[in-house]
Amino acid sequence: MADKPSYNFVIADDHPLFRGALRQSIESMYPGANILEAGTLEDVCARLEASGDVDLVLLDLTMPGMRGYSGLMYLRAQYPGVPVVIVSANEDPSAIRNCMEFGAAGFIPKSLGIDTLRDAVEAVMAGEVWTPTDVDMGADEETAGLVQRLATLTPQQVRVLMMLSEGLLNKQIAYELSVSEATVKAHVSAILQKLGVESRTQAVIAASKIENGQWQAAVTE
């Protein structure tokens, strides 16, 4: 194992104890690996921006800054060359399927033993895709179609949709993103077109159908 090349990992979870346990596992597998930790989505992005050569992100779905699958959507759109493996306490088959549809390289339930986690990480590092063997990866056509449409959103459009779900107005979104209101309106129009809906509310409701209620439809027409 000592002759393995050095790798760069980002462990993203808001529980320090879990990050520490995962770090120990990665260090035992890849001695000398550079391991960065993050407790929020903002931290993950900062780590990726600061270290341009990350080999793998291990991402929790429920840490601060995440809203349903939006964090995964954003990372896959903003950093398409960086593999992302979800490590989550959520073992719902639909969640696993959706994560894979959004471009995750793998999904590892936190309940699995350390040996399985190591096998999963090694599989992904070898270029494979890893999911639990007992999960049916088939999805209904409506959900699969919606996931595919959401996956076409650009990083900025994902951010705008997240802010719409929080009830922010165009001028508030423009302020948060440091862009003009006209730019926000253009993003909203593009989101509606890509999702095949006619209003901001419908866009958030469409997203909420696969987010298990994590997108709040509290938007203003």
State the pLDDT at residue 164. Answer: 87
Q: Which CATH superfamily is domain 8-125 in?
A: Response regulator (3.40.50.2300)
- CA-CA distance, 122 to 33, in Å (whole number)? 14
First-residue to last-residue Cα distance in the chain:
57
Give the per-residue pLDDT at 40.
Answer: 92
* pLDDT tens-digit readout, 79-128: 888 999 999 888 888 888 888 888 899 999 988 878 888 899 999 999 89
Tens-place pLDDT, residues 178-195: 999 999 999 999 999 998
Instruction: Tell me what pLDDT residue 184 has.
Output: 93
Long-range contacts of 165-171 (CB under 8 A, 24+ apart): 165/67, 165/204, 165/207, 165/208, 165/215, 165/216, 165/217, 165/218, 165/219, 166/216, 166/218, 167/216, 167/218, 167/219, 167/220, 169/220
pLDDT at res. 220: 38
Element spanning 9, H or E: strand 8-12
Q: Domain extents for the chain?
A: 8-125, 141-208
CATH domain 141-208 topology: Arc Repressor Mutant, subunit A (1.10.10)
Instruction: Give residue 182's pLDDT.
Output: 94
Q: How far apart are the C-alpha atoms of 68 and 58, rounded to whole Å? A: 16
User: Where residue 70 falls among pLDDT bands split at 50, 70, 90?
Assistant: confident
Taking each helix axis from N to C end, the angle separating 170-177 and 155-165, rounded to the nearest 10 degrees, works out to 130
Higher pLDDT pick, 93 / 3: 93
Residue pointed to by tokens 């209003």: 199
For residues 201 and 214, give the distance between their C-alpha atoms in angstroms, rounded to a whole number: 15
Same fold, 8-125 and 141-208: no
